[in-house]
Chain A
Amino acid sequence: MSVKKSLINYFKKHLLLLFVIILVIIFVTLLALVPPQILRIIVDNIILKGETEKLLSFSILYLATYLLIGITNFIKELVLIILSQGISTNLRKEMMLHVHKMNYINFIKNDAGTLESYFSNDVDAIDALITSGVISMIIDSLKMIGIIISIFVFSTMFGFLSIAILPLIIFITFGFKKLMFKAQINNRKIEGNVNNLVLEGLDNIISIKAFQAYNYFQNKYISVLKNHYQTIKKSNFYDSIFSPIMQIIKTIVIVLIILISSYNYNLFGISVGVLVSIIDLITDLFKPIENLGMELQTIQKSMAGIKRINQFFEFEASKCQENNVNIENFEKNIRIEFKNVDFEYEKNTPIIKNFNLIIENNDKIVLKGRSGAGKSTIFKLISGIIFPTYGDIFINDISTRSLPCEIKSTLFSILFQDTFFSNGTIKEELTLLKQNIPDEVIWNALEKIGLKHRVNSLDEKLNYFDFSTGEQVLLNLARVIIRNSKIILLDEMNAKIDPLTANKIIKLINEFAKDKIILSINHYGENIKNAKIIKL
């Protein structure tokens, strides 16, 4: 997947929208040229000829064109918003799909905040590309061409004149925008320093306070702020002077046109109406050029966003194979087999080597070993978070690489060391959004873990911070009870859980997991009935 592909996919699905956009572009461009023409007619053919009776109808016509312009502009904005929102929504969907495929190691290397920033900052940049980038640029370029053509229609000489001054205006505009952009980048860099320093202050606040190094840090901050102020001054200057200069140039051009026209009235044969309209058109010519400079910047910025999102899509996917697996295979006995399994995160530092194990007949297995021996690696291997570097793991003769989501959701329950919640309702949290789970089953589970009295309705939001650490683990256990799956994996018990809760958890598991495979780590083991201990 890439940004380009995502865009193509979107447009393929929304051909009508594309058509409307093209239509709008044409209309917006053409309509902008109409008012000066009407104005010329009003001045030359009506007012100067004294045709009062036609005046009203033409002034209504003049308004009507403005009405049309207003409406098309409104539609333009609307379509652009719909388009940009559609594209960014689509892109975010596809990015999240990529998250589901991403290799385990990517989650270790990048923290969630970093990954999230691709979804917000970079997609927003692409948003801007559409709303105020590419399409506006097309419209403005066309407008510019349209205006010059209109000037040609009025007067060939002024047509050539405007073509002659056009490069100058574009040169000045783009020159300034370039300077501004450079100053802005500088600003942003120093703005980054300011940010980092605040973060540094927050991170190091204990030392600053303990050593009472307030002045040291404050001075450091002020010197960066002053530096920031100096650079910003530069870009302020450019920002402030650009528009006044353009206005002065515009005036000079207008005066030039009037002077040339008055130099020899008969030679050029310019009527007042034409003159007024040309002045109008010249005034209009400056706007799109100014916009073009801005749009170019937006596009430049968005390009960086596109590049980053493409990098995001390049985060390696885990190597699983999509396979059609019959769900009936897993309805009776379950047999898990590790066959000559090697695993390493980095080359030549194997975590486990040549590991062989068969789990069947509702075995209860306890893994023991020092930390780093690979206990949790084995968990991750079974649940398909990671795959063996060498060898393979089979569940009922199907490799974990080919186990689809759907089957995993009925096959495994895992009680993790740390709890996790997703800001959902109680029902959503406990079922993990799995459909078709009757409410009684959920209430039943809540009763078993002894928290039924704390819940009023399954559809209320689960405020997990209202529950103690132990209760949060119990809620996670309720998930295991609800799933009622054939394989249960029990992670090491969190050090924060009090012994009472721990006993309760083990009792519950012993109760309902008689006919299930249990694989557990460390101290759960002592209390799980009929457990085999495997030392790693």
Chain B
Amino acid sequence: MQQRKLDKISTYFLNHIYICISILITGLTFNGLMSLVPIIQGKLVDAFFLRDSLELILKLSVTFISFVIFVQINRFFKRYFVRLLANKIIITMRSQSMKNLMNMDINNINAENKGDIMNKNLGDIADTAEGIRKVTTEIFDTIVLMLSYSISMLIMDLKTTIIVFIFIALAIFSSSILKKIIYKATLDYKKEFGNNKLKTLTMIKNELYYRSLGASENYQNNYENNLNNLRKKSIKAMVFQGSMEPIYNIIAMIGVIFVIYLTGQKVINGVWQIGTFSAYLTTFILVANKASKTGKVFNAYQKAKVSWERCKPFLKQIDMKEKYNISGNLKLELNNVNFGFNDNCILKNLNYCFEEGEIIGISGKVHMGKSTFASLLTGLYDYTGNIYVNGVELKNIQKNETENLIGYAPSNIDIFNSSIKENISLGKNGDYVQAAIDSQLSVDIENFPQKYNQIISHSTANLSGGQQKRLAIARAIFNYPKIIILDDPFNSIDSLMAKKIFKNLKTNYKNCLIFIVCNQKDILELTDKVIYFEKNKHCLENYKLLINKCNSFKLLMQGVNE
């Protein structure tokens, strides 16, 4: 089946067409028949008034109750299906938006827009689905219901109904006139609310600065003014949003004079029974109530629209990915590569070539670009120039699909909320035990009560610093990826263990190209080559040659700061 586009709202209705049809049927049945309830109830009152036989009244009662039960069953299904639809929509939207999220360019994700991305993926999707539910509900419960009541009123008494509808229309009209004002007041309020939230956050962040400079009092006064402003705006918005209903209701209810006066006379003149009168009156009051609430339909629609526009970009179709197979002996070439996160550590003119089986140390002082270089090799960041893996541009490979090309241990490990096993393998098949043994993590896993099934947590990592480092190594070397990049892996690991790990890497990962960011002398000595970063300079040499050639590297290795 042709996949429908998920960034079109109609898709969601078409994908769940059976549910939609069920909603339509049950909704129309319920709302259509609802108008008969007051009429049947009126007949019962009439039967009482006319002193009909108990038997007849009993019959009528049973009919009435069965009718109400039938109507209410329809109502139940309508309510249930509407909610079901909303929840199905949420699932589809969320899983699609997660795909989009994971497909996002890393260069576009930063600390500042994380919150916004989260909101779009969670809040806005939930709001959209909730909006769809509300709009659907309101369409049935307000518009269809009002129509069905109106029809039954028209049938009962044409003239009176036309007169009273003037006031109903007036109520609806006045609520739609106020719509703009409401919209503006709400917008004003939301803006001020956002301002205030930012202000609160800024004040908390800056409090210690203010305090040491004796400015806290000034800012408190400023904050209080801001709060008073917010209060005024929010009162205005809330009054327009929520409290106007009684006023519309009054307008709609003006017609009650005509209802009682005109139809009351009908009863007096014997044209109507008293039950019909009460049925007509009840129906009118219901319509008046509904009329004062029509604003809700607009509101629900507006709100849903805003959220939908916000989350829509995350519901785009994702293009099919190409699969790259890297075969033969690995060769990694850097051709005139330039790269930098910010103005501080820019890497310029990188022209190097690495081959399978090499272990490359990456060394340099703080802020010289070691980690930056390591992250560059993942191919996820924007660089200029070319990085070729066996002649194929790395950027393209990483945008598409490949198997087991890169293992990367960043300086701070990303931990997933799941077992150690899954944290090593990331759901792929392979020998995770071997990876744990080679990274020396196995030593600690033996002590975990659940061994490899021990659950670890994303936020408050229940692993020590050294364990985290080794887990990162285990993940990076799992399944023998072609390129292994370890960013500062031996930090918080004692040197004996570090050497053991290094030895394992050297013996068991001969077919891999390994990069290790580190400044430990005893490790760098064992590498094949070292790439050394200085301010605006870098070079690739064998350790011994580098020591002789480069004085600052020598000093660094001797542990002397300039």
Interface residues of A (CB under 8 A from B): 39, 42-43, 46-48, 50, 52, 55-56, 58-60, 62-63, 66-67, 69-71, 73-74, 77-78, 81-82, 85-86, 89, 92-93, 96-97, 99-100, 102, 104, 107, 112-113, 115-116, 119-120, 194-222, 225-226, 228-229, 232-233, 236-237, 239-241, 243-245, 247-248, 251-252, 254-255, 258-259, 261-263, 265, 272, 275-276, 279, 380, 383-385, 405-414, 416, 420, 422-423, 432-435, 483, 495-496
Contacts and interface: CB of A to CB of B under 8 A. Distances in A.
Contact of A211 (B45, B238, B475): B475
Nearest to B211: A385
B216 A405 contact: yes
A96 B203 contact: yes
Interface stretch (B406-414, B492-500, B543-551): B406-414
Given A203-B414, A259-B58, A275-B45, A432 B210 contact: yes
A92 B65 contact: no
Nearest to A68: B250
A202 B118 contact: yes
Given A201-B101, A202-B118, A255-B61, A70 B246 contact: yes
Given A100-B216, A216-B428, A262-B54, A71 B48 contact: no
Interface in B264-281: 264-265, 267-268, 274, 277-278, 281
Nearest to A498: B343
Interface string B386-430: 000000000000100110011110100111111000100011100
Interface string B321-338: 000000000000000000
B321 to A, nearest CB: 9
B86 to A, nearest CB: 9
A515 to B, nearest CB: 20
A263 B54 CA distance: 7
Interface stretch (B4-12, B225-233, B521-529): B225-233
Contacts of B212: 380, 383-385, 408, 412, 414
B136 to A, nearest CB: 13
Considering residues A202, A241, A414, which has the most beta carbons from chain B within 10 angstroms of its beta carbon? A202
B410 A100 contact: no
B247 A70 contact: yes
Interface string B31-48: 000000100010011011
Contact of B207 (A42, A100, A225): A100
Contacts of A73: 246
10 contacts: A67-B250, A81-B238, A85-B231, A116-B204, A206-B408, A216-B422, A237-B80, A240-B83, A251-B37, A496-B344
Contact of A52 (B253, B265, B422): B265
A411 B102 contact: no
A214 B65 CA distance: 56
A102 B210 CA distance: 13
- What class of interface size applies to chain B in its complex with A? 35 or more
B94 interface: yes
A96 B202 CA distance: 12
B408 A113 contact: no
Given A82-B235, A204-B414, A209-B380, A251 B213 contact: no
Contacts of A483: 213
B69 interface: yes
Q: Which of B64, B68, B200 has the most CB of A within 10 A?
A: B200
B260 A86 contact: no
A276 B44 CA distance: 11
Nearest to A423: B202
A55 B261 contact: yes
B233 to A, nearest CB: 10
A62 B121 contact: no
Given A89-B230, A240-B79, A432-B210, A229 B72 contact: no
Nearest to A69: B246
A220 B427 CA distance: 10
Given A93-B227, A200-B458, A409-B213, A248 B72 contact: yes
Nearest to A86: B231
A211 B198 CA distance: 37
Interface in B209-250: 209-224, 227-228, 230-231, 234-235, 238-239, 242-244, 246-247, 249-250
Given A85-B234, A212-B402, A434-B215, A217 B102 contact: yes
Contacts of A228: 91
B117 to A, nearest CB: 6
B558 to A, nearest CB: 18
Nearest to B123: A195
B87 A229 contact: yes
Contacts of A39: 281
B238 to A, nearest CB: 5
Given A47-B267, A96-B200, A262 B57 contact: yes
Contact of B211 (A52, A384, A413): A384
Nearest to B115: A113
B122 interface: yes
**What are the 4 A-B residue pairs with the smallest beta carbon separation, nearest first?**
A408-B214, A216-B427, A409-B214, A77-B243
Given A244-B76, A434-B218, A74 B246 contact: yes
A63 B257 contact: yes
Contacts of B463: none
A199 B278 contact: no
A215 B422 CA distance: 13
A195, A237, A406, A422 interface centre (most CB from chain B within 10 Å): A422
A85 B235 contact: yes
Contact of B242 (A56, A77, A102): A77
B211 A196 contact: no
Given A62-B260, A255-B64, A210 B378 contact: yes
Given A263-B54, A420-B209, A209 B220 contact: no
B264 A42 contact: yes
Contacts of B75: 243-244, 247
A255 B44 contact: yes
Nearest to B215: A432
B57 A202 contact: no
B300 to A, nearest CB: 17
A78 B90 CA distance: 36
A200 B102 contact: no
A35 B84 CA distance: 40
Given A71-B246, A78-B243, A409-B213, A213 B426 contact: yes
B104 A251 contact: no
